[in-house]
Structures are given as C-alpha cells and as structure tokens.
Structure 1
Amino acid sequence: MKSNDQLVKKAEEIRQREHRLRPSLRLKTQSEIVNFVHDMGLVSALGGNELPSLISAVMGKAWRPSSKGFSGWLDWWSLKIEGKQIASISSEIERRDDILASRVFRRTKTFVSDKLWPVLDSIVRHQSELVAKGKILSALERKLLETVEAEGPIRTDQLRKRLKLEARENNYKFHRSLTNLEGYALIVGAEDPHPEKHLHANIWQTWEKRTHNLAAHATLSYQESVSRLLEASIEACVVIREDQIRKWFEWSSDTEAAKENLLQSGKFRRADSYLVTSRVLDSPHRHLS
C-alpha cells in the first residue's frame, strides 16, 4: 500500500538522521560518541546490521564489513577523533564503567549502554539457570564459563593455557566458544589496555562481575526483559524487516510473543514486511541536510 511505502520511507529518513549517516551529522568528538551510545542504547561496533553503527556515525555514511576482509577496514582505520585512532577510542569505550561490549545482537560486537544492563541482567540470569540444567552450551563452553567464573578477570592467552587449548588446531573451537558465550552475555570481554609486546588480547570476566552484580537489584521478570530489550533494539533501528527479528538473539524463540505484545500495545506499526517505531508517525517530515 502507498501509505505503508510512505511510512517506511519516512522511517528511513529518520534512521539516516538518528544514525548520523550524513557528513554534516557525523560524530566528531569522543564525548559525542559516548553520548551516541547512551542515546541509542545499543550500537554496533562496525555495522552491517540494523543497529546504528559507531564506524558509520563517525564516517557520516553507511559502512559495512565486506568480502575484502581486513582491507575493507582501511576505509576508516586511519580516521582520528581528537587525535586518537578510532580503534583506540573503541577500546576505551568498551572499558568504561557505563558501557560494555557484547555479542547479544546477531553475535556481532555491540556496545551496550548501562541503561539497558538491568534489562539484560534478568536475561543473563535466565540463561545461567539453563546452563545449570544442562539445556544450553557445549562441554567446552561450560568449561570456559566455569574458568572465567573462578579466575576472571582473565586474559585470552591465559584462558587458553589454563584449558590446554594453546595448539593452533584449537583456534576455531576456542574462539567459537567464546563468541557463543558472549552471545548469551554470560561473559564480557574488553581489550587489555596494557598488552605485552605483539599481543592483543581481551580480558574476560562474567556478566555479574562486569556489571557489579546487578542481580541484587533486579526486579524484571525474564519475559519482561525480553520484551524491553526487543523494544529498545527496534527503537534504535527505527525500521526493520520483521522476518529478521528471529535472527537477532540467542533466545529467539522467546521474542515472538514479545513482538506481538509490542505491536498490540501500539509501540510499533507493521508496514507490509517491515516494523516501524510508532514515533515515526508523530515525527515531522523533513529532508536531511
């Protein structure tokens, strides 16, 4: 329908503005980057998905990883903000007390503002219960989690040594297991600010330790948290393809009911194959400069 097409077009314009996808809107200072993460709630470190992207917002145009691999990073690797390289700023941000880096969204590195930590906390506690019941995680993933719980914060190379996984043939399963644990937000990593020569490694700790044990203050149920995280994610994206939601989170089977409840509440509008945040309806229509 024409009205739906117009709604999606308007949402895309708002997305361009809010995600800073124009040179005139790009982020120019580190404080602007920090505020951007807090305003959005969830920000993709690199891009290539529906969330606002740190790299794109700094460049003032959409950027996504390509088949060129690391050579594609040359588009932004040399960019500097207040004299610092973007990679350095990214590392500083993920070590902040009010922002962490996780892989809860599409298993990609995502900055999460502390305003969403209480929401994620209930989800993490639920995942921990499933781990205890043996319903999720492989044997290696459980061993990794147990080691981080017992000895974290612990650096990547030390973790591999502790589990006797230093051999090259263990690279894939080791890093895949870390990524899976990050996808459930059971562990959180941040780059070591004082690496040894030629060694760039993350320091890992549990969600509870990284967020200062929010569980003691948590009040949300698991389903409430799933709904609120989904709402925050769609709000940050502005407009999304509805069929992609099931690919966002490890707990995708629990998001369907949350999505329908959010639609019934009027917080989002279905426009053919898209979902659009309802604030688009109230936003004045204006073109980007």
Structure 2
Amino acid sequence: MGEHDWLAARFEENREHLGAVAYRILGSRAEAEDAVQETWIRLSRSDAGSIENLGGWLTTVVGRICLDMLRLRRGRPEQPVGDHSPVLADDDVQDPELEAVQADSVGLALLVVLETLTPAERLAFVLHDMFAVPFDDIAPIVGKSPAAARQLASRARRRVQGTPEPPDTDASRQKAIVAAFLAASRGGDFEALLELLDPGVVLRADEAVVALGGAAAMVSGSAAVAGNFSGRAQAAKLTLVDGLAGLVWSQHGEPRVVFAFTIVDDRITAIELLGDPDYLRTVDLTPIEA
C-alpha cells in the first residue's frame, strides 16, 4: 500500500466521526460533507508524517473549517436560517437509518437553539459537550485561552438548557468584588482579601507569567493566595476581560498580564494570571471605572 493509499485509509477510519462533528456544528448534512472533504484536502497537502495524533488533528481541522463556514454564514444575513436545517425532502434521504440517528442525537429543537449562538460559542459547546474535546484543544481553534473557551461553552450551555443569562446585577456584583479585591490588594489589607476569597481558592499562572518572575504556577488556599496579593497589584487596572470584570497589568501601554476571576456565591474561587502572547492578542479587553 502506497503512502497516499495508507493516508486515505486512515482518513476513512475517521470519516464518520468527522461527519458527526461537522453535522452537529453546522446543522446541515451538505455543508458537513463539504467540511469533511475540505479536511481531507488539507490532510493530503500536509506533512502527515509529523502528525502524532491523527484523530485529534483531524477534529481540530474540521472544527476550524466549520467555524469559518459559520462565520461566513453569519456574514450573509439575507440567507434564511432554515437553509441550514436538517429537514430534507423525502427523495433526498439516502439512508433513512442514518437520518433517524441524526434526528435523535441532534434534534431540530437543539439545532434551532444552536443557530442563536455565536460561531465560537457553538463550536465550543459542540466539541466539548458532545465530543469531550478538552478546552486546551478548543482554545486555539477559537483563538482564545482555555478559560475563555470554557466560558464560551458555558454561555452556550445555558442557552441550550434554557437557563437565563446572569442578570446585569450579577455582572455588577462581580465588578464590585473584583474592585474590592484590587483595593484590598493595593492597601495590603490581608483580612479584607480573606473575606473575598473562597477557602479553597486556586491561583494559577500560565507559563508566560511564570517566566516573568515572581509568580508560582499554582497556589491554593485563601491564606496563601491572599499572601501573594497583599500589598501588590499597584499597577493593575479594572478591566472587562471577555465581558467579565477582571484586572490587567500593562507595560508601556501594552497588556502583559490578565487577571481572570471566577466568582461563586460572592467569593472568588479561582484567579488565572494569563500572559501568553497569542491570548493577549485575541482577548477582548475593555477598561472600566472602579
């Protein structure tokens, strides 16, 4: 068997999975088939010998292709949503059993809800919740951090489950808590920091922040985390980070470290220090007043 034939055989082993991923993301069998075919074209033009995990590589590529197709679709508002539904005329059904499986596993109601999501939300939700793709793998597809990819899937999940988005008062409360954290940190108020932090709070720093010096990769427990911030964060600014209140430390006008907060029941349960250059180029940062 030649190299091309071997590669084609390996691709065929993954075709059904890729078709399922594309169908659930796009909601259209025809578009899903186009996405799978484009994935094969990209594989055939790649250096396949350097791919360690072919299944993961193919899933990532088909995800990127589907994301581009969704974005192109949203750029054509004159095209009705119904054009992308899986409803087919009787003479279009080539495999009734396959159609039944697709209808059962996806469902028209779910597809209608998925159409209301942004392309990035839809992709993050489908890949993670339906195919168990880790957020570390989803993040580069949508051009965001794993934490931001998790947030995309969470927002999508609330929409799919019919759970209302958090009201503005919750967003305001998060802003107030982060602002209080910043004030306590700058003022060296250890007790105030303890009041704001959950006892099991975890502080994580990515490799870029660790390389800057002065940050551990992970610190857990309210006392330890409070100790890391007491009397510090003097130059950090209150900022909306992908729509949620956080902090940003900049140098020469350029953001260097983003502080992303997870808050549950008015307590900070996690803080992520993010300084990866790719993340900083894509994260949405909007300064806000304290």
TM bin (shorter chain): under 0.3
Greater share of helix: 2
Q: Normalised by the size of structure 2, how large is the TM-score?
A: 0.28
State which structure, 1 or 2, has the greater radius of gyration over its C-alpha atoms.
2
